[in-house]
Structure 1
Amino acid sequence: MHRMYTVFPALTVLGGLAHAAWYEKGSGILEELGPKLSKDARILLKDHEAFTDASSRWQWWAAPEVSAVVDVYNEDDVSQTILYANKHDIPFIIKGAGEGHGATLGLAKAKNAIQIYTKNLDQFDISPSGTTARIGGGIKAKKLIEYLSAQKKQTVTGACECVALAGVALGGGHGFLQGYYGLLSDQFVSLRIVLANGTAVTASETEHPDLFWAMQGAGHNFGVVVEFEYKIYDVDYENKKEVWSYEVFTYPATKDYTRKVYTAAKKSMKTQPKGMLQYGLVLTPPALGSEPVILHHILWHGPLTEKSKYTQSFHDLEPLNVQNAEGTLLDAPRWMQIDAEGVVCNANKYVPGAGIPRFPVDLKEYNVEAVVDSVDRFSEVMKTVPELSGSFFMIEQYSVQGLALKKSEDSAVPFRDDTLLLAPAFFYSSLVDGKPNTTIDELAFKYGKEIKQILVDGAGGKTHAYVNYAYGHESLEEIYGEPWRLEKLRKLKSIYDPENRFRFYAPIVVSKEKGHDEL
């Protein structure tokens, strides 16, 4: 087939860079990079009709500034794009089939960047053994889950349907099945990675094992994953092991109720089975009035008839409302309001230009009084700052038995025994007429740090931060762990990315941005 070129009129100038329409002669990136890409690949500039959708993000707080999108279809497309960006000192970022969930200050440093868009790297193929699958680096979690389910298989994915699998896994990655099989990153058997110099390598326990170690927990710093081999597991339908259930309890978010709910949750930690997640949300649903509430979800692997075993203590607290259901793991995201069609995954449809910075604190156990004080302060902010009234506070209590299947030193993932992920998240219009809403940004930042500090103080002044929730002011020790881990990561960074080209998401090494040529 011959390459088809579409020419749009006009040369637009933005941010000091000259941008030409699609493949107009003399247009820099179009003329130089375009002929080197595969027949299906596209370069989208701001005047292309597909640019807005391709560069859109789930949330816009601290968002990167993208001037061109390269819609890649294979490994060589990724390599050629990186080589072009390197030649002209142009920054680049990566976006998969997910909707750009990163909310961290480092991304805002990517100015006039090229976005390498990997959503079409979404192939999957189950191995003859049925124990692994080869998966494209840009695949969305929902697509993989549905495909595997049709084959009576499953694997560890993030809970939210609208994220790309690889991006979550590179940061370790928590999910419904981690109590059985470990983190998302623990499922990697091998990865095909395009490095910062444009070369592609395979990383596994036998090939580039040092890079394989780093990609499990700090992978955002080292390369673009174009394909990976991933562990998958059988679903036991004969014994009805496909059945999952949930209950969600609604309580007033008062100090008294917060104390009761999280005292009960704390008591359950030692006996929480492998197939369970407790997921609390503090928010103000308009349908329930103007007072904040706690929605405490309990998801478990088993039939609804087992509910008294797992949820009776929460019934005893006299909730305002209880809802429950039985189904399969495919239903869990919808039950917990994190499905692809739900409000969380479609934040921009409800609040255009939505910003959702999170301020994570990861813990081994609850300090209940610190939770009470942080929820109380968060509720006060929602009630007194109208622009932040749509915010939510996540309290996630995972099963961790499966994390012990891998030794802590065998991957870059730190803090494997952390059971709790707490994160106030402020939800508001972060863009107004396409420009950052700096006044509200500053308020969200102020209150987020204040509420986080309450939790940190309750933990004795030391805390950890899940890299996939990081907002950008965490210390490297909070995100990446002990000094020996950081030393090892920095050494590997100097080998695999000495120019620090992968530096915008939770960077191990901070460096000044170079100037760059025109696209």
Structure 2
Amino acid sequence: MAKIAIILWVFIYAGSKRDATPYLKPFKKLHYVLKQNENAPYTQITNIIESGLDSILCAPNQTHITTTTGLQVFNVTAQRQIYDLFNSKIAEHPELSGTRVTTEAYSVQGVTKNKGRKSSFSQRDEYILTYFGATNPQDFGLEDYAIQWAKETRDLWNAGQPGRRPTTYLNYAMGDEPLEAMYGYDGQLGRLRRLKRRYDPHNRFQYHNPIVPPNAY
């Protein structure tokens, strides 16, 4: 039987089910295979969405091929292309059917109200966070295949917002992105490097997409 992508929506609302109903009403018109509603303490949310420390996603001794870009709006055409790409890839290599393509949207009120060049954090115009993740493709000899799939997905996301420079959420970065995409195009990288020289003069923190290369000083 051919495998196809499963579309999964997760809505989290800080309040009662009754108060959340008006916001979820449009989505109830969609046809769905399964629906779950539940109340949960804040500390359990990551486990419910399968991103907690005990989830498969966070299990130790795994290799993840990841990539990301920041978006301002959902581009329907791009999202459909990414969906079709997913199905074509897992039809060719069903070993990678556990791959995730995720978009995350959070409240951005606090982030957007502090815009300006004085901030060292650059990504205050990103309203939607994306994530592509293929787990352990090397087990099937498909690491290069997964990397190419990740890049194609990222290209589609970026093509859906022409005129914007690509941005990269540091934790989801593939590692081939320019540092400016991670830390900012408008001088933020220089400010961060000056702060680093002040507070980390021996460059101890240099292992994950570092703003200063190892052994730079």
TM-score by length of 1: 0.38
SS of the equivalent of 1:321 reads coil
Once the two structures are TM-superposed, the CA of residue 390 in structure 1 deviates from its matched residue by 1.3
The separation in 1 between residues aligned to 2:113 and 2:159, in whole angstroms, is: 31
Q: Does 1:323 align with 2:26?
A: no
Q: Does 1:354 align with 2:52?
A: no
Q: Does 1:452 align with 2:154?
A: yes
State the AA in 2 paired with 1:469: Y
For 2:130, which of 415, 422, 432 is the aligned residue? 422
Structure 1 residues 299, 503: CA separation in 2 closer, same or farther (over 3 Å shift)? same
Structure 1 residues 373, 500: CA separation in 2 closer, same or farther (over 3 Å shift)? same
Structure 1 residues 379, 448: CA separation in 2 closer, same or farther (over 3 Å shift)? same
Q: Does 1:391 align with 2:99?
A: yes
Residue 338 (structure 1) aligns with: 51
SS of the equivalent of 1:302 reads coil
CA contact (8 A) 1:396 1:422 kept: yes
The separation in 1 between residues aligned to 2:202 and 2:21, in whole angstroms, is: 57
CA contact (8 A) 1:354 1:429 kept: no
Once the two structures are TM-superposed, the CA of residue 497 in structure 1 deviates from its matched residue by 4.8
SS of the equivalent of 2:40 reads strand
For 2:143, which of 441, 465, 468 is the aligned residue? 441
CA contact (8 A) 2:3 2:87 kept: no
1:361-400 to 2 correspondences below 5 Å: 361-400=69-108
Q: Deviations over 1:164-207 (max 9, x none)?
A: xxxxxxxxxxxxxxxxxxxxxxxxxxxxxxxxxxxxxxxxxxxx
1:15-94 to 2 correspondences below 5 Å: none
Residue 11 (structure 2) aligns with: 298
Once the two structures are TM-superposed, the CA of residue 490 in structure 1 deviates from its matched residue by 3.1
Residue 157 (structure 1) aligns with: none
Residue 39 (structure 1) aligns with: none
CA contact (8 A) 1:360 1:469 kept: yes
Once the two structures are TM-superposed, the CA of residue 493 in structure 1 deviates from its matched residue by 3.9
SS of the equivalent of 1:327 reads coil
For structure 2, list consecutive stretches of 5 or more residues without a partner in the other structure. Answer: none
State the AA in 2 paired with 1:341: D
- Considering fraction of residues, name the structure with more strand: 1
Q: Deviations over 1:240-293 (max 9, x none)?
A: xxxxxxxxxxxxxxxxxxxxxxxxxxxxxxxxxxxxxxxxxxxxxxxxx83211
1:119-158 to 2 correspondences below 5 Å: none
Residue 62 (structure 1) aligns with: none
For structure 1, list consecutive stretches of 5 or more residues without a partner in the other structure. Answer: 1-288, 515-519
Once the two structures are TM-superposed, the CA of residue 496 in structure 1 deviates from its matched residue by 4.7
Report the structure number with the largest CA radius of gyration: 1
State the AA in 1 paired with 2:103: I
For 1:487, which of 187, 190, 194 is the aligned residue? 190
CA contact (8 A) 2:120 2:188 kept: yes
Fraction of identical pairs, as percent:
28
The separation in 2 between residues aligned to 1:368 and 1:452, in whole angstroms, is: 15
For 1:477, which of 180, 189, 199 is the aligned residue? 180
State the AA in 2 paired with 1:455: W
The separation in 2 between residues aligned to 1:459 and 1:407, in whole angstroms, is: 21
Residue 403 (structure 1) aligns with: 111
Structure 1 residues 300, 491: CA separation in 2 closer, same or farther (over 3 Å shift)? same
